[in-house]
Structure 1
Amino acid sequence: MSTPKGSGRKKQTPKSTGPRVPGPAEILAAAQTAVEAAQSAAGQALESAQLTAGHAFDAAVRLPPASAQLAAQLPDLIENLTMAIDRLNSTIDRLDRTLALADPAFAAYDRLLPRLEAMIALGEDVLGRLARLPGVAMLGKVTGFGGRRPGEEEPPPEPPKRRR
């Protein structure tokens, strides 16, 4: 740690009161430095441009003809893709409007289906209980409604039993 009044302290010089004006030699040196920097930057830009052009030429020379054709067709492909996306969006909008119109019908079906299922179950229950009543089979044979469905043929009569 150093002491505040050590031998390493520098004497303060009085500051000038006005702004410092550079002399002609300093202005000339700064201008020459700026010219050299501009020339260096221009040279680097020229080298970079030549290198880029060389790479582009090499790539164009080495590019297969099929790839060149594909690259030429790319704008048309992009345009066709945008048209297809527009058609898809309009189709989705139409489907959305159609589903919005059909929504009340779907709601009615949802309310109606459980009732229909209950009625079918009740009908099957009634037919099952009627089939268990004695004499219903005989009544069916007499009336011709022996449990056959329309379009079904009558089963062949049973062969007579032989006695031994």
Structure 2
Amino acid sequence: MTNPKGPERKSQPPRAKPATPRVPTAADILAAAQSAVEAAQTAAGQAIDSAQLTGRTAFDTAVRLPPASIQLAAQLPDLIENLTTAIERLNTTIDRLDRTLALAEPAFVAYDRLLTRLESATTLAEDLFSRLDKLPGVSLLGRLTGRDHPEPSAPEPKSRRDRKK
């Protein structure tokens, strides 16, 4: 990045303070008051001009509005009222849901406890079956009880080629 004032900034020597503080005279105060009045009058004139221009523009826009826009603008109060009603219903529904969830909280806690116990029981059962499978003779017992039999798969349909032969 370059410096807009040049590559090197030159420091300016500090300004010396006047030896004696200057006390404003009545003429200085009068001149300052007159310049403040002129500035206020200028600002007021500019504000009035701006307000007149804005009013003129608003009137021109209102006169040139198409009827559909005027109809939409006329429906705005009803739309705002309907929106207010919808927001009130939404707040009521949110409150009802909040109360329902507060009542259901103990059930959720109980479900969480039950699920952790079921998971630990399932893990224990899987561990037990894996250890039993390692014992000699258990595979024979499994075949006798029908535990090791895979589920029979559905027979595949014969194709037309096989029927014709």
TM-score (norm 1): 0.55
Q: Provide structure 2 residue ranges, at least 5 long, that are not aligned to the other structure.
A: 1-47, 156-165
Corresponding residue to 2:92 among 90, 93, 100: 90
Distance change in 2, residues 1:79/1:131 (3 Å): same
User: Alignment identity in percent?
Assistant: 69
Figure out how many residues of one structure are paired with residues of the other and give that number: 108
Give the aligned CA root-mean-square deviation in angstroms.
Answer: 3.1
Alpha-carbon distance, 1:68 to partner: 1.2
Corresponding residue to 2:142 among 116, 140, 143: 140
Alpha-carbon distance, 1:142 to partner: 2.0
The residue that corresponds to 1:108 in the other structure is 110
The residue that corresponds to 1:153 in the other structure is 152
| Per-residue deviation, residues 72-130 of structure 1 (Å, max 9, x unmatched) | 11111101100100110110011011001101111112222222211111000001111
Larger Rg: 1
User: CA–CA distance in 1 between the matches of 2:110 and 2:80?
Assistant: 45
User: CA–CA distance in 2 between the matches of 1:56 and 1:142?
Assistant: 95
The residue that corresponds to 2:34 in the other structure is none
2:152 partner SS: coil
User: CA–CA distance in 2 between the matches of 1:82 and 1:155?
Assistant: 62
Corresponding residue to 1:64 among 62, 66, 78: 66
User: CA–CA distance in 2 between the matches of 1:86 and 1:147?
Assistant: 62
User: CA–CA distance in 1 between the matches of 2:110 and 2:57?
Assistant: 70
1:123 aligns with 2:125: yes
Q: Provide structure 1 residue ranges, at least 5 long, that are not aligned to the other structure.
A: 1-44, 157-164
Distance change in 2, residues 1:137/1:63 (3 Å): same
**Structure 1 residue runs of 4+, over 3 Å off?**
49-57
